[in-house]
């Protein structure tokens, strides 16, 4: 059976999509470690970065950077964000398909964030965020990305 992120890329599992092109897909993390936590994946399955084609890692991080900018314009992660790639089991990679996390942080959220991170490390993850909330955040990000794109073209 295809991995969970391949199923999302193939439209077999639901996800709140933020961005899509021929190579990459970005969607809301269902167990966010911060408000508006997004994952960017290559559409083709690769377990680790070393299995990716030349240039694919740069492409993922370029998409991650534009999502980081969109989050900031929405006021998310103004005080800081994690741009994170867990590469391999020992490095806490739970889903065996390359993904970049963009996790907005807020001042004073260390305790809450550490608790959630501890759950992620065990692979339990905790409760999923309700779909309407993820859809609302994805929609806000899509609008920001579109605005960013239009601004570049003018
Ligand atoms: P890792 O620990 O492998 O770096 O992170 C995997 C991420 O995938 C976690 O942040 C987790 O919340 C997220 N995740 C796991 N299953 C799903 C899912 O079905 N949908 C979405 N959108 N995210 C998922
Ligand atoms: Zn996969």
- In tens, the pLDDT along 20-29 reads 999 999 999 9
Residue-wise pLDDT tens digits, 139-149 = 999 999 999 88
| Pick from 28-42, 61-75, 98-112: least confident | 98-112
**Residue range 82-105: average pLDDT?**
97
pLDDT at 138 over 90: yes
Specify whether 97 is catalytic: no
Whichever domain contains 9, its CATH number is 3.30.428.10
Q: Is 30 in the pocket of ligand 1 (CB under 6 A)?
A: yes
- The DSSP call for residue 88 is S
pLDDT number for residue 123: 79
pLDDT number for residue 148: 83
Cα of 79 from ligand 2 centre, angstroms: 33
pLDDT number for residue 51: 98
pLDDT at 126 over 80: no
Cα of 131 from ligand 1 centre, angstroms: 14
Cα of 38 from ligand 1 centre, angstroms: 10
Residue-wise pLDDT tens digits, 28-44 = 999 999 999 999 999 99
Out of 2, 11, 13, 95, mutate this one to test ligand 1's pocket (max ligand atoms within 8 Å of CB): namely: 95
Do the beta carbons of residue 87 and residue 101 sit within 8 Å?
no
Do the beta carbons of residue 97 and residue 103 sit within 8 Å?
no
Structure pTM? 0.95
Atom from ligand 1 closest to the CA of residue 28:
22
Contacts of 38 (CB under 8 A, 6+ apart): 18, 26, 27, 28, 29, 64, 67, 71, 101, 102, 141
Can you give the residue range of the structural domain that contains 118?
4-153
The total domain count for the chain is 1
Q: Label residue 117 by pLDDT band (50, 70, 90).
A: confident
Active-site pick, 37, 97, 99, 101: 99
């Amino acid at each position: 059976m295809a991995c969970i992120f391949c199923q999302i890329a193939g439209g077999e599992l639901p996800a709140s999509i933020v961005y899509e092109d021929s190579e990459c897909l970005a969607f809301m993390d269902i167990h966010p470690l911060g408000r508006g936590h997004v994952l960017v994946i290559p559409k083709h399955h690769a377990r680790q970065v070393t299995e990716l084609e030349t240039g694919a890692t740069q492409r993922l991080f370029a998409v991650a950077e534009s999502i980081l900018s969109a989050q900031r314009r929405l006021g998310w992660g103004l005080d800081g964000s994690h741009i994170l790639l867990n590469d391999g089991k020992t490095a806490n990679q739970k889903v065996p398909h390359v993904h970049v996390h963009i996790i907005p942080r807020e001042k004073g959220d260390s305790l809450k964030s550490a608790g959630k991170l501890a759950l992620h490390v065990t692979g339990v993850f905790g409760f999923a965020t309700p779909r309407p909330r993820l859809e609302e955040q994805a929609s806000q990000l899509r609008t920001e990305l579109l605005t960013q794109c239009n601004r570049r073209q003018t």
